[in-house]
Structure 1
Amino acid sequence: MHIPPFDNQNKPIVDVDDALVPLNYFNIVKLKRGEAFAYQVPGYETCIVPATGTVDVEIEGETYANLGNRTVDVWDGEPEGVYVPTGAKALFNCVSDEAEVFVCGARYDKVLTPFDVRADEIDLVQYGSDDTKTHRKIKHILGTKYHDRVGRLLVSELFTVGQGGWSGFPSHKHDTDRLPDETRHDETYNFRFKPNYGSGVQMLQREDGKPGDAYHIVDGSTICLDKGYHPCAVLPGYEMYYFTILGGLSQRSLVQYFQPTHAAQLETIPGIKDMIAKFK
């Protein structure tokens, strides 16, 4: 499902128990210097990630100062985040002129311990090639290195490298728990483009061999994926970014099932198997 950009007034775009992606939670909070935002999400662990701007974060008495270093846009520096345990009280204050903050989450019933992830702790992977039109970079905020500290939530930022090209290809899905072949992970994206008047397309093929849907995505678009194969592309001449939230039903590790029609192309894309391993 495509949710076009709109003024959400700091209210969840994907709320708890969403009809399409109940394992996900997503909010965008915009603040000016001195403004604060408090929240608590029972039944969901969350992560606070400034898209731009800097905030001071407090989680149940624990303080994490000066989170976020980007000013112009999401290309302007490395991401940072704070993990917020299930149901914990969270508060963040804007200490820059402005801040745009992603609050993302996954359903989880246990309470863990908060922690921060700074720019020098981001797990980076780059794969693909210009020749295969699949060149991209992934910055894992809550990736595999935090399996023992996070319940079901995976958080990353994906960037196309260069202008134009495909992402999420070869086409894959993760909508059914049937280990060892696949896991059920609901997924939510928020897209940005550079320049910001760029755009792209999100494909969604729910059944192999049958035509699917395509959504015209623009700067600020949110996509919710409950099932099906879901590659996306950016127009030539533009760069694309998408903030990625994955919430697992029975485990945190993601097992992707690649569409048999296109699976042979796993052997043609440099570094893609290393990328797959970073989500497990």
Structure 2
Amino acid sequence: MTNTTDRFHLRAGRAASGPYALDIRPESAGWDHSSLRVLELPPGGSHTMATGGSEWIVLPLSGGCTVEAEGTRLRLHGRESVFTAVSDFAYVPRDAELRLSSAAGGRFALTGARCTRRLPVRYGAAEDVPVELRGSGQCSRQVNNFAAAGVFEADKLIAVEVLTPGGNWSSYPPHKHDEHREGAESELEEIYYYEIAPHGTTEGVGYQRVTPSGHGGGTDVLAEVRGGDAVLIPDGWHGPSMAAPGHDMYYLNVMAGPGVDRAWLICDHPDHAWIRGTWADTPVDPRLPLYEAKESAKSAQARGGSQEGQGER
């Protein structure tokens, strides 16, 4: 049986619940591990949640906030938007209470994964986030590896940000990670959450493709995505993620799976893997990077350090 676009493309507002503009839980997604919530707070607003059996990372999408958990208080400088800077973030373990507040208001992603180990509350600095330029030519994109495996410690959660200049393709060649093959491929459920840069008053769009891999449920998606949309990928070859010309595209990837090792091991689609061999002969898109982590940190220091309550970065 093929899983269709309508089931796995969550248009903005479709998966809203209570205080969350987007609320994806294992129960609603029909899988076992990955979660994503997007919380919008007004100036002076706050929100408290129990982490339950999942570990969480609070990532500002716009604005800054304060995160309190386990007797620790972390101030996140945040950023003006996902298109202007790398953000700092906070990790909160399972079986805890998390309180998030914002003097100026903002939008905050809560990326989660069911887990076993209980790690300490920690702060992730923006200047420590590795910014990677991946691909070349029209396959060029920027990856902010804030919670990639091997970069920031977690039990199960893997999360990164990808920025694609208008007209470029990301998640290409198409790849999959829907079965465990020792040293070759990880089994990971994945969420894509999108924001699209407008051009003046014109709303932007992007496109996401997922095709059946022959392993798992046969997910088949061709979606026109807009800001606030999400796509669930329980299995299948995913990619390309296409940014329409004139509109840069952002997506947040949230991944988790049952593997003992926390690793992102992928298998390229055999029909398209050859494209990687062309990258060495083609320059990276000169529009990249859109920004760099170290520059963002220096900029924050120049404005007096903390920006929580200022809503810009």
Contact 2:145 2:151 in 1 (8 A): no
Runs of 4+ with >4 A deviation: none
Correspondent of 1:187 among 182, 185, 190 = 190
Contact 2:219 2:234 in 1 (8 A): no
> CA 1:55/1:29 → structure 2, altered by over 3 Å: closer, same or farther?
same
Q: Which residue of 2 aligns with 1:173?
A: 176
Any idea what SS the aligned residue of 1:144 has?
A: coil
What amino acid does structure 2 have at the position aligned with 1:234? A
- Pairwise CA distance, 1:207: 3.1
Q: Which residue of 1 aligns with 2:24?
A: 14
How far, CA to CA, are the matches of 1:263 and 1:125 in structure 2? 20
- 1:156-167 aligned at under 5 Å gives the runs 156-160=160-164, 162-167=165-170
How far, CA to CA, are the matches of 2:26 and 2:213 in structure 1? 27
Listed one character per residue, the Cα deviations across residues 105-163 of structure 1 (whole Å, up to 9, x for unaligned) are 11101211111112111111012222xx111000111123445x311111111001x32
Contact 2:219 2:236 in 1 (8 A): no
Correspondent of 2:117 among 106, 110, 119 = 110
Q: Which residue of 2 aligns with 1:276?
A: none
Any idea what SS the aligned residue of 2:188 has?
A: strand
How far, CA to CA, are the matches of 2:251 and 2:208 in structure 1? 11
**Matched-pair identity in %:** 23
What amino acid does structure 2 have at the position aligned with 1:198? G
Listed one character per residue, the Cα deviations across residues 168-201 of structure 1 (whole Å, up to 9, x for unaligned) are 0111000111212211011111101111711111
| Structure 2 unpaired stretches of 5+ | 1-7, 282-313
How far, CA to CA, are the matches of 1:255 and 1:207 in structure 2? 16
How far, CA to CA, are the matches of 2:220 and 2:193 in structure 1? 21
How far, CA to CA, are the matches of 2:245 and 2:12 in structure 1? 22
- Pairwise CA distance, 1:218: 0.8
Listed one character per residue, the Cα deviations across residues 61-95 of structure 1 (whole Å, up to 9, x for unaligned) are 11102x13312x21122222101111221111112
TM-score of the aligned structures, taking structure 1 as reference length: 0.88
> CA 1:61/1:270 → structure 2, altered by over 3 Å: closer, same or farther?
farther
Q: Which residue of 1 aligns with 2:243?
A: 234
How far, CA to CA, are the matches of 1:111 and 1:176 in structure 2? 26
> CA 1:93/1:52 → structure 2, altered by over 3 Å: closer, same or farther?
same
Q: How many residues align?
A: 263
Q: Which has the higher helix share?
A: 2
Instruction: Please give the root-mean-square deviation of Cα atoms over the aligned residues, in Å.
Output: 2.0
| Structure 1 unpaired stretches of 5+ | 272-280
Contact 1:155 1:246 in 2 (8 A): yes
How far, CA to CA, are the matches of 2:27 and 2:145 in structure 1? 25
Correspondent of 1:141 among 121, 142, 146 = 146
What amino acid does structure 2 have at the position aligned with 1:154? I
How far, CA to CA, are the matches of 1:205 and 1:106 in structure 2? 25
> CA 1:163/1:89 → structure 2, altered by over 3 Å: closer, same or farther?
same
- Is 1:58–2:76 an aligned residue pair? no
Relative contact order: is structure 1 or structure 2 higher (C-alpha 8 Å, sep ≥ 6)? 2
Contact 1:185 1:246 in 2 (8 A): yes
- Pairwise CA distance, 1:244: 1.2
What amino acid does structure 2 have at the position aligned with 1:243? L
- 1:43-122 aligned at under 5 Å gives the runs 43-65=53-75, 67-71=76-80, 73-96=81-104, 98-122=105-129
Contact 2:212 2:236 in 1 (8 A): yes
More displaced stretch, 256-265 vs 137-146? 137-146
TM-score of the aligned structures, taking structure 2 as reference length: 0.79
> CA 1:270/1:104 → structure 2, altered by over 3 Å: closer, same or farther?
farther
Listed one character per residue, the Cα deviations across residues 229-277 of structure 1 (whole Å, up to 9, x for unaligned) are 1111111121100011111321211110111111222212349xxxxxx
Q: Which residue of 2 aligns with 1:257?
A: 267
Contact 1:108 1:152 in 2 (8 A): yes
Contact 1:18 1:24 in 2 (8 A): no
